[in-house]
Amino acid sequence: MKSWSVGLTGLLGLAAILAASYAASGLQLAVGIVLAALFGFGWPHYLAIPARKTLGLVIAAAGSLSVIAANFSTAPSYLLWVAPIIAVGVGAIFVVQLIRGTGQSHRLESTFGGVAGVLIVAVGSGWIAAQRFTGEGALTLITGASAVVVLLLSILPWPDRIIAPLGLVLGTLAGPLVAIAFSDLHILPAAVIGFVVAAVLLSFRRLSSIAPARHSVPGGIALGLAPVLALGGMVYFIDKMLIN
């Protein structure tokens, strides 16, 4: 899977999240579970670690349970059960590493990679939590607009020394522009959202740039979805800080 396809996967995943945020909660839940499953089963392929099916099942289950918990938890603690789910998921990763019989020499890398996958997929439930917390899609739209701008830039085959500063500037500007056009949010908070989103996505682009140029299809899908899911928790907590 080529690098531009990885970026396109991230864009499609983000588009699905944004579209579902304006639809019924059942569709948002379904999208969250599907993205968690795609990421979960693809992440071990991207890392090329042993016991991929078992680790993929653990990661996908942690993501799906986090999404379900965020969708059905009572206000105001929409992410109350995500921390225990992460703890159980991390414990399951350690158990898998202890009982599996192959690849013992790579046990440490597999453990770190699996734990990272659980953390990324679990915080992806923050997209649903943010939507339920705000009750409207303005902040989600601002976040999505900044993310789309940076993801489009990340697809370009330019070096990081050009993409990084350009992405920070344009991603930061996208937030206030969308806020002015579609919401009553002040320019400064919107700019902060845009800057944080740009910084997170550009850090994942750097991770992608030092990885092999080609990936398996499941691994490429997971790599494309990773920054989008990682934004979920940040979206939720930024929204809480701005509103409170």
- Which is higher by pLDDT, 118 or 182? 118
Question: Where on the phi/psi map is residue 51: left (φ > 0), alpha (ψ -120 to 50), or beta?
Answer: left
Helix%, strand%, coil% for the chain, nearest 5: 80, 0, 20
174: pLDDT strictly greater than 70: yes
Nearest residue to 152 via CA among 137, 139, 165, 163? 163
* pLDDT of res. 210: 63
For residue 137, give the DSSP letter: S
CB of 160 closer than 8 Å to CB of 136 = no
Helix (H/G/I), strand (E/B), else coil: 77: coil
- Low-confidence winner among 56-70, 160-174, 180-194, 215-229 (lowest mean pLDDT): 180-194
Q: What is the mean pLDDT of residues 41-60?
A: 91
* pLDDT of res. 76: 78
- Give CA torsion, residues 118, 119, 121, 122, to 10 deg: 100
State the greatest distance between any 2 C-alpha atoms of the chain, in Å, as a whole number.
57
Predicted structure pTM score: 0.89
Handedness of CA 27, 29, 35, 37 (dihedral sign): negative
100: pLDDT strictly greater than 90: no
Q: Determine the straight-line distance between the first and last CA of the chain, rounded to whole angstroms.
A: 43
92: pLDDT strictly greater than 90: yes
Nearest residue to 144 via CA among 122, 127, 163, 168? 127
Residue 31's pLDDT band, with cuts at 50, 70 and 90, is very high
CB of 153 closer than 8 Å to CB of 163 = yes
Rounded Cα–Cα distance for residues 140 and 114 (Å): 29
Number of Cβ within a 10 Å radius of residue 156 = 13
Question: Crossing angle for the helix pair 25-47 and 217-243, nearest 10 degrees?
Answer: 130
